[in-house]
Amino acid sequence: MSTRLIESFANAPKYAELFSDASLLQAMLDFEAALAQAESSAGVIPASAAEAIAKSAKAKDFDVEELASRGLRAGTLSIPLVKALTERLRAVDKESARFVHWGATSQDVSDTAMVLLLRRARVALAEDAARLQAALRRASDEHANTVMLGRTLLQAGPPITLGLKIAGWFGELRRSWARLDEDLGDVAILQFGGAVGTLASLGDKALPVATGLAKQLGLALPAGPWHAHRDRLAAVVCSCGIYAGALAKMAKDVSLLMQSEVGELFEPGGDGRGGSSTMPQKRNPIACALALGAGNRVPGYVASFLSGMPQEHERGIGGLQAEAATIARTIEDTGLALVSMSEVAEGFSVDDGRMKRNIASTRGMIFAERAMMKIGAQLGRDSAHTLIEQAVRRAEQQGVSLGEALNALPQVTAILSAQEIHELADPGSYLGAAEAFRKRLLASEE
Amino acid sequence: MSTRLIESFANAPKYAELFSDASLLQAMLDFEAALAQAESSAGVIPASAAEAIAKSAKAKDFDVEELASRGLRAGTLSIPLVKALTERLRAVDKESARFVHWGATSQDVSDTAMVLLLRRARVALAEDAARLQAALRRASDEHANTVMLGRTLLQAGPPITLGLKIAGWFGELRRSWARLDEDLGDVAILQFGGAVGTLASLGDKALPVATGLAKQLGLALPAGPWHAHRDRLAAVVCSCGIYAGALAKMAKDVSLLMQSEVGELFEPGGDGRGGSSTMPQKRNPIACALALGAGNRVPGYVASFLSGMPQEHERGIGGLQAEAATIARTIEDTGLALVSMSEVAEGFSVDDGRMKRNIASTRGMIFAERAMMKIGAQLGRDSAHTLIEQAVRRAEQQGVSLGEALNALPQVTAILSAQEIHELADPGSYLGAAEAFRKRLLASEE
Amino acid sequence: MSTRLIESFANAPKYAELFSDASLLQAMLDFEAALAQAESSAGVIPASAAEAIAKSAKAKDFDVEELASRGLRAGTLSIPLVKALTERLRAVDKESARFVHWGATSQDVSDTAMVLLLRRARVALAEDAARLQAALRRASDEHANTVMLGRTLLQAGPPITLGLKIAGWFGELRRSWARLDEDLGDVAILQFGGAVGTLASLGDKALPVATGLAKQLGLALPAGPWHAHRDRLAAVVCSCGIYAGALAKMAKDVSLLMQSEVGELFEPGGDGRGGSSTMPQKRNPIACALALGAGNRVPGYVASFLSGMPQEHERGIGGLQAEAATIARTIEDTGLALVSMSEVAEGFSVDDGRMKRNIASTRGMIFAERAMMKIGAQLGRDSAHTLIEQAVRRAEQQGVSLGEALNALPQVTAILSAQEIHELADPGSYLGAAEAFRKRLLASEE
Amino acid sequence: MSTRLIESFANAPKYAELFSDASLLQAMLDFEAALAQAESSAGVIPASAAEAIAKSAKAKDFDVEELASRGLRAGTLSIPLVKALTERLRAVDKESARFVHWGATSQDVSDTAMVLLLRRARVALAEDAARLQAALRRASDEHANTVMLGRTLLQAGPPITLGLKIAGWFGELRRSWARLDEDLGDVAILQFGGAVGTLASLGDKALPVATGLAKQLGLALPAGPWHAHRDRLAAVVCSCGIYAGALAKMAKDVSLLMQSEVGELFEPGGDGRGGSSTMPQKRNPIACALALGAGNRVPGYVASFLSGMPQEHERGIGGLQAEAATIARTIEDTGLALVSMSEVAEGFSVDDGRMKRNIASTRGMIFAERAMMKIGAQLGRDSAHTLIEQAVRRAEQQGVSLGEALNALPQVTAILSAQEIHELADPGSYLGAAEAFRKRLLASEE
């Protein structure tokens, strides 16, 4: 299993798999095999050595426990892994054993392995992001005309459509995913610099080997080694922070809409989800809770990563050793939030009757601005404001609707008919540019 | 003055100015004037009102103390400012006073004002970023052949060139600035949605007014209002985090090179910089300290901003109110780090004699890898490794150089001449692809 | 004014005052005056010098702008301030000018000044904490029997009392304040170590002067200087983080209770608080929003402060220079949250009718557990669970209450009378240990 | 194995064990067994049920994979665990199965289990903290007279003793541990409140059961349930942040002292520690790197935890679900830093010859303050300052020592003999209160 129980709510199986021991080891061994291949092609080491190394570079043959324990002493997994690989080779081909890891440094292996794991993470995330976006687009279209309360500072306001609300989530999620996707693309580069980033031990074969190695691994060749320049990884971590924040925003809204007292929209239940051990009637917003939890943790990882950027000279101390766990956890938490909200987007249920009742229960108060502007157009905004305040106060005191209160004010009835006053409280005709904005958000390539 | 004494090391005058009270107020008033103008053009309010509003929208006429104190009660500066503007107008033109802020909501004003301030911040940062990059490019060219120790985990390693080290800073700083610059460009968009983001009170004039208002302010029109979708601001804050991290990396390196025991490169002194109140001989790395201090604070702002992203429904509570100070401080700290390191880049002095002496004082030990690979090419890597370890141990015990120790080993002298052994310790011929990487880093458009 | 407009929601006037330029300067000058006095008493400098220095150490006589600008160059305010003080003295008493700052280092001044400002902060915070606790205690007593819904994961649950809810806030706030108060007490210590923390320049007068200086300032004398050991300041910052978190918890609950759809408890309005620029009927939770905003920012400060703790050797670079602003902002944000919630605690209004209606609107569903345990005691928990699930499903489908559904199940009516079923939905008799816990929380000295 | 390879540098085996799946499950089952026992003693459930439950509550009998996967759906491990326990019982004793988890809620189990794990963490940490403190105390005593450079802002300053430097670490580490230890003590309390914190389903047996349960588990009984009041856990997390910061401070100093160019103090090597894959001569500060890495990550966890404190109503959503992983990781990283620095403290080696040479290589410049105060006592500080500046400049230009430069100034030689000038550069006689402070730091009970 890839996740400890204590971290159950920090990981979804699909994402935990990405950074499993087997994945990591194989990525490191893939680097060693590709390096040998590139060096053989450049005439630096014999072809037979490259073949032998490739043959021995199988993760399943290595002892994870021992690597972990030696890695902790060495401050890097690369040293014990290279040693173990060399020993394996020595047993079968002493000559080839000499050429393992030729010219590379520990961080070349660990950084490139991380890059390879992030490439797989990108595929996994892209899949779920596409699912989420498709589901939200469908739901927004479906609910283009579903009218509900707008809410600001947790107070009821004029109406919006559920379609617009969903399109707002969609817009932010699309932009944030595009950003993360691009950053994951930018980090798909080779790390290869040798001891201090000059590849001095390879002499004039340095660039040919680097070029070949990058090609072998399907990675781009950066302008130079980046052992102590972590901006591209920082960008990935930050963009996860933004994406997780956008997912948490959606989760926050859904969880608020699921409140017993609101009851307008629900994440899907079923299959062990959302029950309570003591309250059989409850339907808890668990997917949202997981996404909100992830959204709580990721900003801390971002701060840690950024704090660790000032790494000393050609290879740092502390900042560097702190990174791998932080990156993995950032991707995992982001992935958990993403699958959780994809599940929500694909399966939520809407209670549009409740939406209407919730609008009705404001007794027209949310249309005060509308009334004010309507009256203001004739009486002036000032007088209108005073009149409306009067009406609102009366409606609250008497428990009547704003419309009834307005009907009781002669200055109002002098300019508005009963029908006009009645229509002030029709939510469907007070949606402004909601549909235009909704379409723009779904269409926009911004 | 724009900065409190207690925050002296969190702000440089140039950047403090950007978010001064006058700047902020004028940006808010610019929104109100432009809104009136756009609404007048769209036939929503009279042209005379637009003119009158524009005339009254001068920051200097408003009472900052009172606005601050009322703003704290209202939870937004927009409410008291709109009220004060309306009152100013009422005194001179009662008719026009009715049309102040017509159809807009508080957050339309405050967000658009922030966007306008960030546009100015972009200009200021771009100026200093260009200065920094130009200075680093010059310095890297100048020191293309200045050989110095490479250092990993704070230990001496094989040589690099100062030119390559500087090019490494340059590369990360250029990439990070490009990212921040782009994010500042993306956020140069209008915020305009009215009470709940539908602009309902403007009816079918909503989009024409929005379009005109954006044009008036020189901002792009986004697909829809973004009151509770803060990803673009988050991107700016994150990219400041990365840029500040890259600046702090350079500051870290310079401060380490300035150590009494290293003494290879110094930030410029002069003009009250870097003295000590008790130690007249000291030359403290103050510009670096300021950049490192900024690099310490920004990650915390980033975490706060990201944590605040899940804002409730159409306009949030808490997350929203927390942002303005966080954004301003992020830009200010980033700006302080940037001007500090620009000053360093333009004025540092290099002690290349000390660089040579520091290389020499390793007694050739840093060339152990070189020797190993040279010998290994003939004897096999294994035997070579054993021989070199022997030589290193002997050199350490006897206090001689690695070359001397090698000369005393018959297995070594059997394959390497005294001259060849001597040349092993020549740093200038063991630089690998340093110059190639340096040129790629300076040239690259990656 | 002490706060910039852009930081309006990050500071309350009372707390901004604590760290004003005048406060800071005077605290620094108080150190210099007390130092001279202690050195005069110990026979290190002439009594006349101590008198002259004391006379010149008046904040109002110094040019803040110039100090700020020189401080930024020097990396510390102490250097230009000591210089300015020396110059002022030289003009009147050349002999005494020699003895300004005798034996001290910059950080002795700046750290001790911070400690003096924190002492004042402690008084201010204690005052508001006492106000808050008193108000909560009163309110908890008043509402010992006010029954309301308990809510978990934002879903309605069995009833609690408002008195217990308030006592829960009270308990956490009392514990957190006690912790912060203690940490503020622990940091009330002198900083005095000279250049590297040995006070070498004072020879055998070192400890007598330190002792006298501490006494003079009313501070404790720590075991040794703590220039690079920031744990006590870190403790203050962390405890502010916890206190701000506890305040934000209360703010979160109040803001959720103020929702239009819940409407059970309201922060006080009045005096420009909580209105909307576009929606005259709104009553926004502004005090809560400010507290939540502060609660959003403080964790970021905490992370920054902790990241900066590993300060180099006897006095650090970067971490040190980053602190002052962070500490001030932490106190200010905590203070803002505290005054906001004190205002809420002293003035909230309760709608107990709405509380009852909200309980009623669950149609008894929240008593499912109660019914299950009652029936389970006779039929076994398993059978009971099955029966209750049946009843809940039926109640939901038919829109009837749980009681009605239970009445329709013969297996239930066989063991419970109609009266007993009716009483299952009486919230006042299902409060368990609520009152006992409430009293313990108010009484407890834990 | 308890730690994934990707998290190798975020965990030490001893601490990973604390939060292993077996530990966590058993702690949860211990709660269930103790609950049944307490309820049986209070006459709430039959004694036979309590016995049967205790017999079935063995972690090894449960399927971890399945619990993890169901837990992720339920949003809590408690629900599937209680279900699995009930099923196990049902197979053997249907009657007793009814009484599993009687009256408790999910969070009662998970919180109390966390508390039980933290109790074990306290023991583990206390052991290592004692080791560290003992080693530092010994080392400080041993090096009470080992003179070395003091360093501020990474620049050489007047001398200190290594004993004082170590005592400085000791003082901060002792204070920080005492704080963490106390907070771990404070959190050793029961969580038990049922659905909404009233224990309503237990009626008047609520307090007796709670009291018995606390006793059974060896925990204190708090004033009331604390489901949504996380201050005590926050205190533990914060105090880990401070302790990790203090450990990282020591690691920072050691790593700087290990620099090739400084070479004064070294962490122990041996056993795979600190080698380089490409540079056989290197001795890398790996234990320090691990402690610094931990020090980098913990502040982010602290920020996340504090951000999550405002948990909704009686039990929150998001903040709550985020905590467990954060707490475990905080303890693990703190533990890793602690064992790393204990190893360093117990085994570092000191090169006091190098310390002397490093002092000598400043050519007396670090005694400029001493000379100034000596001369100033006779000539006045002003004239002294001017003279010293002259001498420093001359010494730098001519590459001579400060003593030689002073000897060449007639104004100096008029008042100081050659012997007196010579003695100015004797570090051993310019240590001020170093030894007094050292003893106070070791002795102090503050």
For residue C213, the model assigns a pLDDT of: 98
Smallest Cα–Cα separation from B324: which of C5, A243, C301?
C5
Choice among B108-122, C132-146, D390-404 with the minimum mean pLDDT: D390-404
pLDDT in tens, A6-60: 998 888 888 988 999 999 999 999 999 999 999 999 999 999 999 999 999 999 9
Residue B150 neighbours by CB distance under 10 Å: 29
| Mean pLDDT to the nearest integer, A251-279 | 85
Q: How close does chain C come to B263, measured CA to CA in Å?
A: 16
- Between CA D312 and CA D317 the distance in angstroms is 7
Check CB contact under 8 Å for B151 and A256. Answer: no
| Mean pLDDT to the nearest integer, A240-257 | 98
Strands D265-266 and C265-266 come out as: unpaired
Q: Is D137 on the interface with C (CB under 8 A)?
A: no
Q: Report, as residue numbers or ranges, the catalytic residues of A.
A: 276, 315
Shortest CB distance from C299 goes to which of D99, D252, D307? D307
Residues 216 through 245 of chain A touching chain D, CB cutoff 8 Å:
none
Q: Is B307 on the interface with D (CB under 8 A)?
A: yes
B255 pLDDT band (50/70/90 cuts)?
Answer: very high
Residue B144 pLDDT exceeds 60: yes
Q: Report, as residue numbers or ranges, the catalytic residues of B.
A: 276, 315
C276 pLDDT band (50/70/90 cuts)?
Answer: low
**Which CATH class name applies to C119-189+226-352+431-446?**
mainly alpha
For residue D282, the model assigns a pLDDT of: 66
Shortest CB distance from B392 goes to which of D158, D281, D285? D281
- Token pair 């290589």 is at which residue? D361
Give kind and range of the element (H or E) at residue C345: helix C319-347
Residue C278 pLDDT exceeds 70: no
Contacts C267 to A, Cβ<8 Å: none
Check CB contact under 8 Å for C231 and D176. Answer: yes
Q: Is C362 on the interface with A (CB under 8 A)?
A: yes
pLDDT in tens, C102-133: 999 999 999 999 999 999 999 999 999 999 99
| Torsion angles phi and psi, residue B351, rounded to 5 | -110, 90
Burial C292-321 (b: 16+ CB within 10 A, else e): bbbbbbbbbbbbbbbbbbbbbbbbbbbbbb
Please state the domain extents for chain C. Answer: 16-104+190-221, 119-189+226-352+431-446, 365-424
User: Tokens at residue C278, please?
Assistant: 């576009």
- Between CA A28 and CA A83 the distance in angstroms is 13
* C357 tagged catalytic: no
* Residue to test with chain A: of D67, D107, D288, D317, most A Cβ within 10 A: D317
B280 pLDDT band (50/70/90 cuts)?
Answer: low
Smallest Cα–Cα separation from A210: which of A29, A31, A35, A46?
A35
Shortest CB distance from A198 goes to which of B206, B252, B434? B434
Residue C280 pLDDT exceeds 60: no
Contacts D103 to C, Cβ<8 Å: 373
Q: How close does chain B come to C296, measured CA to CA in Å?
A: 6
The interface pTM score, or ipTM, of the predicted complex is 0.96
pLDDT in tens, C18-77: 999 999 999 999 999 999 999 999 999 999 999 999 999 999 999 999 999 999 999 999
- pTM of the complete model beyond 0.90: yes
For residue A94, the model assigns a pLDDT of: 87
Check CB contact under 8 Å for C285 and A151. Answer: no
| Mean pLDDT to the nearest integer, A282-286 | 84
Check CB contact under 8 Å for B164 and A197. Answer: yes
| Mean pLDDT to the nearest integer, C277-298 | 84
- Between CA D426 and CA D403 the distance in angstroms is 11
Check CB contact under 8 Å for A201 and B382. Answer: no
Mean pLDDT by groups of 10 residues along chain D of 446 residues: 80 89 97 98 96 97 93 92 95 89 96 98 98 98 98 96 98 98 98 97 96 98 98 98 98 98 92 62 86 97 98 94 94 97 96 97 93 84 83 90 95 94 95 98 76
- A255 and C154 Cβ atoms separated by less than 8 Å: yes
Interface partners of C (3+ CB pairs, < 8 Å)? A, B, D
Residues 251 through 290 of chain D touching chain B, CB cutoff 8 Å:
255-256, 258-262, 276, 278-286, 289
CA B201 to centroid of chain Cα atoms: 41
Return the DSSP state at C244: H
Burial D104-121 (b: 16+ CB within 10 A, else e): bbbbbbbbbbbbbbbbeb
Check CB contact under 8 Å for B238 and A437. Answer: no
pLDDT in tens, B185-194: 999 999 999 9
Q: How close does chain C come to D91, measured CA to CA in Å?
A: 14
Check CB contact under 8 Å for B98 and A197. Answer: no
pLDDT in tens, B359-385: 999 999 999 989 988 888 788 777 888
C95 pLDDT band (50/70/90 cuts)?
Answer: confident
Q: How close does chain D come to A300, measured CA to CA in Å?
A: 4
Contacts D14 to A, Cβ<8 Å: none
Size of interface B-C (CB pairs under 8 A): 259
pLDDT in tens, C381-434: 778 888 998 898 899 889 999 999 999 999 999 999 999 999 999 999 999 999
CA A431 to centroid of chain Cα atoms: 31
Check CB contact under 8 Å for A74 and D272. Answer: yes
User: Tokens at residue B256, please?
Assistant: 């380490």
For residue A8, the model assigns a pLDDT of: 85
Residues 313 through 332 of chain C touching chain B, CB cutoff 8 Å:
317-322, 324-326, 328
Which amino acid would we find at residue C394?
Answer: R
Residue of D387 and A197 predicted with greater confidence: A197
The residue annotated as part of the active site, out of C276, C361, C383, C429, is: C276
For residue C256, the model assigns a pLDDT of: 98
Interface partners of D (3+ CB pairs, < 8 Å)? A, B, C
Radius of gyration of chain C (CA): 30
Return the DSSP state at C262: T
C93 pLDDT band (50/70/90 cuts)?
Answer: confident
For residue A436, the model assigns a pLDDT of: 98
For residue B396, the model assigns a pLDDT of: 86
Q: Which fold has domain C16-104+190-221?
A: Fumarase C; Chain B, domain 1 (1.10.275)
Q: How close does chain C come to B430, measured CA to CA in Å?
A: 33
Return the DSSP state at B283: -
Choice among B148-152, B250-254, C33-37, C87-91 with the minimum mean pLDDT: C87-91
For residue A274, the model assigns a pLDDT of: 66
Check CB contact under 8 Å for A255 and C154. Answer: yes
Check CB contact under 8 Å for B312 and A253. Answer: yes
Residues 9 through 48 of chain A touching chain D, CB cutoff 8 Å:
9-10, 12-13, 19-21, 24-25
Q: Is A397 on the interface with C (CB under 8 A)?
A: no
Q: Is C65 on the interface with D (CB under 8 A)?
A: no
Check CB contact under 8 Å for C65 and B1. Answer: yes
Q: Is C64 on the interface with D (CB under 8 A)?
A: no
Contacts A276 to C, Cβ<8 Å: 152
Q: Is B369 on the interface with D (CB under 8 A)?
A: yes
pLDDT in tens, C146-172: 999 999 999 999 999 999 999 999 999
Check CB contact under 8 Å for D154 and C307. Answer: no
Check CB contact under 8 Å for A231 and B302. Answer: no
- Token pair 């910039």 is at which residue? C4
Average pLDDT, chain B: 94
Contacts D75 to C, Cβ<8 Å: 153
Check CB contact under 8 Å for D365 and B281. Answer: yes
Return the bridge partners of C148, or none.
C160
Residues 6+ away with beta carbon under 8 Å from C93: C48, C49, C52
Size of interface A-C (CB pairs under 8 A): 113
